[in-house]
Amino acid sequence: MKKNHKKRFVRKLTDREILYLEELEKYIQVLKVTMLISLNQHGIETTGRGIRASKIFTRQTLLGMSFRKILPIPSKYKHPEDELWDICSIASLSRNIMEGYISLLFFGIEKVSEEEAELRFFLGQYHRNREWYQIRKRFGENENKLHEFVDGLKAQKQRLKNHPYLSKLTRVQQNKVLQGLEMYKTKEDFENENKVCTRLRGDYQVLSNLIHPLPLSIERMNNESGRGIGSKHDITYCILSLVIARRYLAASTIGFSDFFYSYIGKKFEKDLNTIRSFTLPED
């Protein structure tokens, strides 16, 4: 008597799925180099600015790994609905990697004078302590216990006001510093000054609209799109998020390695050269 064998499921991948898988392979290539560099960054003798760069780069590596974990992997042997195309989460982590590169640049690897680097450090301290003070205050901590924060913030703000580099900034940038904003540069500034960030504002806006409930995210939902089942539109947005994440992760890895060229860049130059082309926006 013949046994009944269940026929294995096989389907043809769509053109968008094939393109997505091609972009995914490129991202994995970047992530492998990023992890290699991250695992070999110990033992570097550096300044406080270099230490901050190292910490931000470590965070970028973790984000890159998390991003990889949530990416779907369509296969001709799996039903399309077996993969979760969570475009909101994918776009969110892609934007996190983008923002991480901006932080790495501003607080770590961008070539600036010692004077400007010091101002950025003082600004970062003031911003962090102001945020922490406001959080503790909102959660009801007694003002008497926060007096050291208040005194410290006044002194830190005065230090910013008196800093010799402050006068070299534009009036708008000076106001940002004194308001305690994390950075005094705008997205437009980064676009104009760094080739990696050529499309920063546009990419940021697209990703934000995929992340937030409004205005566009829920409006684009229908019986297929926005439900995680791999509609052609969602796959297209996943490809976009993937390409953006790849560019900023590659730029973080290249930028960090070049900053520590004698320790890392020189040793892993061959590996780094395999991903340098990914740091610029594609046509």
Predicted confidence (pLDDT) per residue in 59-83, tens digit = 999 999 999 999 999 988 887 778 8
Q: What is the pLDDT of residues 146-181, one digit of tens each?
A: 888 888 999 999 999 999 999 999 999 999 999 999
Sign of the CA dihedral 201, 204, 206, 208? negative
The mean predicted confidence, pLDDT, of the chain is: 90
Average pLDDT over residues 6-32: 91
Which of 7-11, 96-100, 221-225, 261-265 shows the lowest per-residue confidence on average (mean pLDDT)? 221-225
Q: Is the pLDDT of residue 195 over 60?
A: yes
Q: What pLDDT does residue 30 have?
A: 98
Task: Write the DSSP string, 126-194.
Answer: HHHHHHHHHHHHHTT--GGGGHHHHHHHHHHHHHHHT-TTGGGS-HHHHHHHHHT-S-S--HHHHHHH-
Average pLDDT over residues 2-26: 84
Predicted TM-score (pTM) of this structure: 0.90
Residue 118: half-sphere exposure toward Cβ, Cα within 13 Å: 11
Q: Is the pLDDT of residue 32 over 60?
A: yes
Q: What percent of the chain is predicted at pLDDT more than 70? A: 92
Q: What pLDDT does residue 222 have?
A: 60
Beta carbons of 254 and 275 less than 8 angstroms apart: yes
Average pLDDT over residues 37-56: 91
Q: Is the pLDDT of residue 220 over 70?
A: no
Confidence of residue 94 (pLDDT cuts 50, 70, 90): very high
Q: Round to whole Å and give the CA distance between 23 and 251.
A: 16
Average pLDDT over residues 126-138: 91
Q: Is the pLDDT of residue 207 over 80?
A: yes
Confidence of residue 44 (pLDDT cuts 50, 70, 90): confident
Tell me which amino acid residue 165 is: Y
Q: Is the pLDDT of residue 215 over 60?
A: no
Beta carbons of 132 and 152 less than 8 angstroms apart: no
Distant-in-sequence contacts of 67-70, Cβ < 8 A, 24+ apart: 67/93, 67/94, 67/97, 67/245, 68/27, 68/28, 68/31
Region for residue 43 given its phi and psi (left: phi exceeds 0; alpha: psi -120 to 50; beta: otherwise): left
